[in-house]
């Protein structure tokens, strides 16, 4: 069958209708906080056609480590940090489409499948991580998102929050100035429009194709269309010069309450915007009758703090549920429509799932580079099928978490090992975590001599 994998960036599961009805679990931070639901009718539509996985956890974080998990079926954070695919990686596009730089005719003649990447995620081609597109039969990049170094003029005279003029988001506002004139010009909308155009041209040409859509939304910059933002921010909080992204900090240390609520509203609006354009793609699948032979997967790399644990953003502390517990919806042509699964699954499982779906074998792997993922197709066929006993996730050289789906153990790095001197593709250093004592009675500190640093044990139902 065909496979369409839709990978969003920084999508919180509680903002998705199939999870908690789209009611954010972090609403009650002030007496003036609005009480709203995030409407995602197209995610609901996909869930009705497919299977909602209740216990999906990320793996390696943040953005590019999560993608290498998907592309290799292995946890990247156990061996290195942010970076490109490596020569020894048996990456997913090459397993689907064979050696790179072949003609399409040769790809098909050798029994491989045609694959295409369409994305606005500029990290896929930036220095230090940018070779994830090379194994596909074809790829299409939407330029201009976040810090994509695209337009250089004008130097001044374009709308840009003052707080962004001296950071990387200045590039984003200049790019937007040149290309954004209506909602369909937003970068995420362009990805999904190009996906539909690709399907219209190719769906009858190839069987068992693999279409990978990597969408930067709802990652910052949080600059949704104004009409959608008004759904969540009708008062226009006192934020005359809102930057495109919040600082990754304890929000009360760096933001007023109005600024905090405005960021939350902008994030929710970005999710609604994304859902609207997912509907554009799903309408095309209806029109082209592709649901009957296409596996559609919707997921994300990780979530983000949006007031949870007093924080906003990510990369500051343990991967609590706001970051590590992610949405995954899989719509199979014939199996498990409108059902839910509670097995522990992770992003590394997408690698064997895609290969099995398009009819390609798993590659042989050495004992020291074994596959960490398992195919999800047996879970769709059998609601009792086993996947794993625990899910492991975290950041290289930083925090590590492990869960059985009921409890999660969060382990801090060993502070005495700082700084982390690691030769890699990015100049990331060891972070000292300010975990602080929680006094809400729902989390406890383990005094465990086998762990050299503070360890947190959280009960899942109360740690959302």
C-alpha–C-alpha distance, residues 245 and 264, integer Å = 11
Which stretches of the chain drop beneath a pLDDT of 70? 26-35, 235-238, 415-464
pLDDT, residue 459, reads: 60
pLDDT, residue 240, reads: 72
Per-residue model confidence as pLDDT tens digits over 425-437: 665 444 444 443 3
345 is a domain residue? yes
pLDDT, residue 413, reads: 73
100 is a domain residue? yes
pLDDT, residue 452, reads: 36
The average confidence (pLDDT) of the chain is 88
332 is a domain residue? yes
pLDDT, residue 166, reads: 86
Q: Which domain holds residue 372?
A: 2-388
CATH number at residue 357: 3.40.720.10
pLDDT, residue 419, reads: 64
pLDDT, residue 462, reads: 40
pLDDT, residue 38, reads: 92
C-alpha–C-alpha distance, residues 258 and 318, integer Å = 26
Our count of domains for the chain comes to 1
458 is a domain residue? no
148 is a domain residue? yes
pLDDT, residue 160, reads: 92
439 is a domain residue? no
378 is a domain residue? yes
Tell me the whole-structure pTM to 2 decimals. Answer: 0.92
pLDDT, residue 37, reads: 86
413 is a domain residue? no
pLDDT, residue 421, reads: 64
């Amino acid at each position: 069958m065909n496979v369409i994998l839709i990978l969003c960036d920084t999508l919180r599961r509680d903002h998705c209708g199939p999870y908690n009805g789209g009611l954010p679990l972090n609403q009650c931070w002030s007496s003036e906080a609005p009480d709203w639901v995030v409407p995602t009718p197209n995610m609901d539509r996909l869930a009705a056609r497919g299977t909602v996985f209740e216990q999906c956890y990320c793996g390696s974080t943040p953005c590019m480590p999560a993608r290498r998990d998907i592309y290799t079926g292995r946890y990247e954070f156990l061996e290195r940090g942010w970076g490109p695919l490596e020569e020894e990686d048996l990456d997913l596009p090459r397993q689907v489409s064979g050696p790179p730089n072949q003609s399409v005719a040769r790809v098909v003649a050798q029994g491989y499948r045609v694959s295409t990447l369409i994305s606005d995620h500029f990290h896929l081609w930036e220095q230090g991580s940018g070779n994830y597109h090379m194994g596909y039969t074809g790829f299409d990049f939407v330029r201009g998102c976040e810090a994509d170094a695209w337009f250089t003029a004008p130097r001044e005279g374009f709308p840009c929050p003052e707080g962004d003029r001296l950071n990387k988001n200045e590039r984003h506002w200049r790019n937007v100035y040149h290309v954004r004139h209506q909602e369909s010009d937003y970068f995420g909308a362009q990805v999904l429009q190009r996906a539909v155009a690709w399907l219209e041209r190719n769906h009858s040409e190839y069987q068992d194709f693999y279409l990978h859509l990597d969408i930067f939304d709802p990652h910052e910059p949080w600059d949704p269309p104004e009409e959608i933002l008004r759904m969540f921010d009708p008062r226009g909080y006192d934020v005359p010069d809102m930057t495109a992204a919040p600082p990754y900090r304890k929000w009360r240390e760096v933001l007023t309450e109005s600024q905090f609520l405005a960021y939350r509203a902008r994030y929710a609006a970005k999710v609604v915007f994304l859902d609207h354009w997912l509907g554009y793609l799903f309408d095309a699948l209806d029109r082209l009758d592709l649901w009957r032979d296409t596996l559609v997967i919707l997921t994300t790399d990780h979530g983000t703090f949006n007031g949870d644990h007093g924080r906003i953003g990510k990369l500051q502390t343990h991967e609590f549920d706001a970051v590590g517990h992610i949405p995954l919806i899989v719509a199979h042509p014939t199996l498990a429509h409108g059902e839910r699964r509670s097995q522990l699954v992770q992003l590394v499982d997408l690698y064997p799932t895609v290969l099995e779906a398009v009819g390609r074998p798993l590659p042989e792997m050495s004992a020291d580079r074994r596959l960490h993922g398992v195919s999800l197709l047996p879970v769709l066929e059998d609601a009792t099928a086993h996947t794993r006993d625990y899910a492991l996730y975290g950041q290289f050289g930083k925090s590590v978490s492990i869960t059985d789906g009921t409890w999660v153990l969060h382990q801090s790095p060993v502070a005495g090992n700082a700084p982390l001197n690691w030769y890699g593709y990015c100049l990331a250093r060891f972070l000292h975590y300010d975990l602080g004592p929680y006094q809400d009675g729902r989390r406890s500190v383990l005094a465990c001599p086998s762990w050299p640093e503070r360890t947190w044990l959280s009960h899942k139902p109360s740690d959302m």
